[in-house]
Amino acid sequence: MKFLVINGVNLNMTGRREEGVYGSESLDDINRQIAAFCKKNGDEVEFYQSNVEGELCSKIQSCIDGQYDGVVLNAGAFTHYSYALHDAIRCISTPVVEVHMSNVHAREEFRHRSVISPACKGVIAGFGKNSYILALESFKL
Ligand code: DQA
C-alpha cells in the first residue's frame, strides 16, 4: 500500500515545543520511525508538512487521482476551525484518517471540536507518535 502522512501548522516544531505534551523527538525523528514501520510492512510512505492552510488544501486536492491508499492528517490547530480543510478532504475519495498526538478531549475546550472529523474516515488521538502508526494500521482493517 502507499500512504501520505500530512502534518499541518506548528507540527514542524515538534520536539521543541510543549515537550510534556508532544515529546522531545523531532518531526523528522518521528517520520523516520514511521518510514521504518512502513518499510517493514512492505508499504510506501511519503511525508508533507506545511504551516500554510492553502498549501495543505492543495496537497490534499493533489490526491484526487488516487495515488495513495490512505492519507494520515494531523492538521494541528487548523483541525479546530478550517472549513477549507474539511472541504478539501471531501474533494477526494482517498480515505483520510485524522490524527492527534495528544488527547485533545482532555485538553482545553477549544480543542474538543474538530471541524475536519465529519469529512474523515476516523480519528485517532492521544497516543503520541504512535497515533500515526495506529492510523496507518487502520487502513489494513
Ligand atoms: C495536535 C492537537 C492540536 O490541538 C494542536 O493545535 C496541535 C497538535 C496534536 O497532535 O495533538 O498543534 O493536533
pLDDT in tens, 70-107: 999 999 999 999 999 999 999 999 999 999 999 999 99
pLDDT of residue 122: 98
What is the Cα–Cα distance from 100 to 111, expressed in whole angstroms? 10
Looking at residue 122, its amino acid is: G
pLDDT of residue 2: 98
pLDDT of residue 67: 98
Q: Separation of 96 CA from ligand 1 center, angstroms? A: 17
In sequence order, what DSSP letters do the residues of 81-98 get, joined into one string? T-HHHHHHHHH--S-EEE
Q: Could you identify the atom of ligand 1 that is nearest to the CA of residue 8?
A: 12
pLDDT of residue 124: 98
Indicate which residue's Cα is closest to atom 9 of ligand 1.
100
Q: Is 100 a catalytic residue?
A: yes
What is the Cα–Cα distance from 28 to 26, expressed in whole angstroms? 5
CATH of domain 2-138: 3.40.50.9100
Q: Which of 81, 100, 112, 132 is catalytic?
A: 100
- Domain range summary for the chain, segments of one domain joined by +: 2-138
* 104 Cβ inside 6 Å of ligand 1: yes
Looking at residue 57, its amino acid is: C
pLDDT along the chain (141 residues), means of 10: 98 97 97 98 98 98 98 99 99 98 98 98 98 98 97
pLDDT of residue 65: 97
What is the Cα–Cα distance from 40 to 37, expressed in whole angstroms? 5
pLDDT of residue 94: 98
Tell me the pTM. 0.98
